[in-house]
Amino acid sequence: MAAGAHHIVIVGGGAGGLELATRLGDRFGRRGEARITLVDKSRTHLWKPLLHAVAAGSLDRAAHDLSYLAQAHWHHFRFRLGEMIGIDRARREIALGAVFDEEGREVTAPSVIPYDTLVMALGSVTNDFGTPGASRFAVPLETPDQAARFNRRLINAFIRAQTQTGPVRPGQLGVVIIGAGATGTELAAELHHTTRAVVAYGLDRIDPSKDIAITLVEAAPRILPALPERIAQATEGLLTKLGVAVRTAARVVEVTADGVRLADGSFLPSELVIWSAGVKGPDFLATLDDLEVNRINQLVVTETLQTTRDPAIFALGDCAACPRPGFETPVPPRAQAAHQQASHLYRQIPRRLRGEAVQPFVYRDFGSLVSLGHYSTVGSLMGFLVGRSFFIEGYFARMMYRSLYKMHQYALHGTGTVLLETLARALDRRADPPVKLH
């Protein structure tokens, strides 16, 4: 590869960042027409909408993890393990901090990476709004490690209840999910199924109908506040039938080791708390060499996805506040937005390499889908031919929901590989328990 080739650096290996690195690598890296480098502080990628299933234990993370090093090798880009800690816009360099292993030994030393074009695809982190006890006692769902940590705590709680001498205490097997957006709502349904599946594996001292309590808490007047009301109504109806307690217009004021306290003075006893109420950009974005951020630390970008103060720096996905003409709010932080933005930059970066003007990004809302695990899937699809959305549920909605993940996989691997992997996993699943037990 030519040493002087244009260097495109992508920071963040989430859905959008990894798709962009893969496609640019196939297009330019193979022939040495440009250098593409992907930076991430993790070694593997997992599609973020799957995190709730990892937390519930209904999905084996190992079967869906993708090695960045392997993907880089297959698709002609470089992978650098590290966490971005700073930027020098004048020199066009990003700074990476040192990486240490579990035993405290240095894996990679602090370093700098020069760039000609920089794409920030860092995603989002949980926003607990400074709620007392939230950072200490509630588990966020930002990373696969956090989802796996919650699942271990869940299984340990069930084993502890089975082997202890006394009866199950109130709240001992309670789960409080703070935030009834898509992640929290999907997790509630998955947990209802998997907790009962765990009990069926010989935990006969636990009575699911009496000992297990799942509570979904939302500060807004209804669950799924960002989605159409009909979806919210259908989802809440199903959750209520399952026995999930739904508390709306309920503001959390404290999280403790024993449960959650609400603004009305009520207390929800629980040893297991998930926080999924709100997102923000990583805090360090506010210190990046005077790049503009909004009140929740998202990088403010123009309609071309270029940052307002540096046209050589782009941002996509949850870490970007992208204007949406005709709407008061920016492009929503959703997986379909990151996918569309990655596809847009794949088409626009070649224009930048040729010295041509970059065209604006136009977001298309294809609808909203909420998976309720084994029970149902509900949502709405945008009917562009008729100019309005229409409600779907059941098997067809479930197939559409699964197709979102397939689209991500196609972008990373191609059709043939995805079809073979899908068949292999279908055959392998028959020999595995329906929930993760360790």
Domain spans of the chain? 6-124+281-353, 134-275, 367-429
Check if the beta carbon of residue 196 is closer than 8 Å to that of residue 154: no
User: Could you count the other beta carbons within 10 Å of the beta carbon of residue 207?
Assistant: 12
CB-based contacts of 415, cutoff 8 Å, min separation 6: none
**What pLDDT does 415 receive?**
75
| 61 — pLDDT class (breaks 50, 70, 90) | confident
| 1 — pLDDT class (breaks 50, 70, 90) | very low
Radius of gyration of the chain measured on its C-alpha atoms: 22
280 phi/psi in degrees, rounded to 5: -155, 165
| 100 — pLDDT class (breaks 50, 70, 90) | very high
Q: DSSP 3-state assignment of 371?
A: strand
Residue 157, pLDDT > 70, answer: yes
**What pLDDT does 380 receive?**
73
CA dihedral 59, 64, 65, 70 (to 10 degrees): 170
- Mean pLDDT, residues 357-376 taken together: 85
Q: DSSP 3-state assignment of 204?
A: coil
pLDDT 10s digits, 109-143: 999 999 999 999 999 999 999 999 999 999 999 89
Structure tokens given for 74 = 């297959």
Write down the CATH number for the domain with range 6-124+281-353. 3.50.50.60
**What pLDDT does 227 receive?**
85
Q: Where is pLDDT greater, at 333 or 391?
A: 333
Alpha-carbon distance of 60 to 63, in angstroms, equals 6
Using a 10 angstrom Cβ sphere, with 0-12 exposed, 13-18 middle and 19 or more buried, the burial of residue 149 is: middle
Amino acid at 398: R
Alpha-carbon distance of 48 to 307, in angstroms, equals 24
Please give the helix or strand (H or E) that residue 299 lies within, else none.
strand 299-300
**What pLDDT does 101 receive?**
92
CB-based contacts of 173, cutoff 8 Å, min separation 6: 157, 158, 161, 195, 206, 211, 212, 213, 271
| 386 — pLDDT class (breaks 50, 70, 90) | very low
**What pLDDT does 404 receive?**
79
Fold of 134-275: FAD/NAD(P)-binding domain (3.50.50)
**What pLDDT does 413 receive?**
84
- Mean pLDDT, residues 183-205 taken together: 91
Same fold: 6-124+281-353 with 134-275 = yes
CB-based contacts of 51, cutoff 8 Å, min separation 6: 141, 142, 143, 144, 146, 147, 183
DSSP letter string, 62-91: GGT-EEHHHHHHHHT-EEEE--EEEEETTT
CB-based contacts of 7, cutoff 8 Å, min separation 6: 34, 35, 37, 114, 115, 116, 117
Check if the beta carbon of residue 142 is closer than 8 Å to that of residue 125: yes
Going by the DSSP 8-state scheme, the letter that residue 301 receives in this structure is B
**What pLDDT does 428 receive?**
55
Structure tokens given for 186 = 């999907």
Alpha-carbon distance of 92 to 134, in angstroms, equals 38
Alpha-carbon distance of 110 to 104, in angstroms, equals 15
Going by the DSSP 8-state scheme, the letter that residue 177 receives in this structure is E
pLDDT 10s digits, 18-41: 999 999 999 999 889 999 999 999
Portion of the chain with pLDDT greater than 70, in percent: 92
**What pLDDT does 384 receive?**
43
**What pLDDT does 376 receive?**
76
Structure tokens given for 83 = 């966490």
pLDDT 10s digits, 272-321: 999 999 889 999 999 899 999 999 999 999 999 999 999 999 999 999 99
pLDDT 10s digits, 201-225: 889 999 998 999 999 999 999 999 9
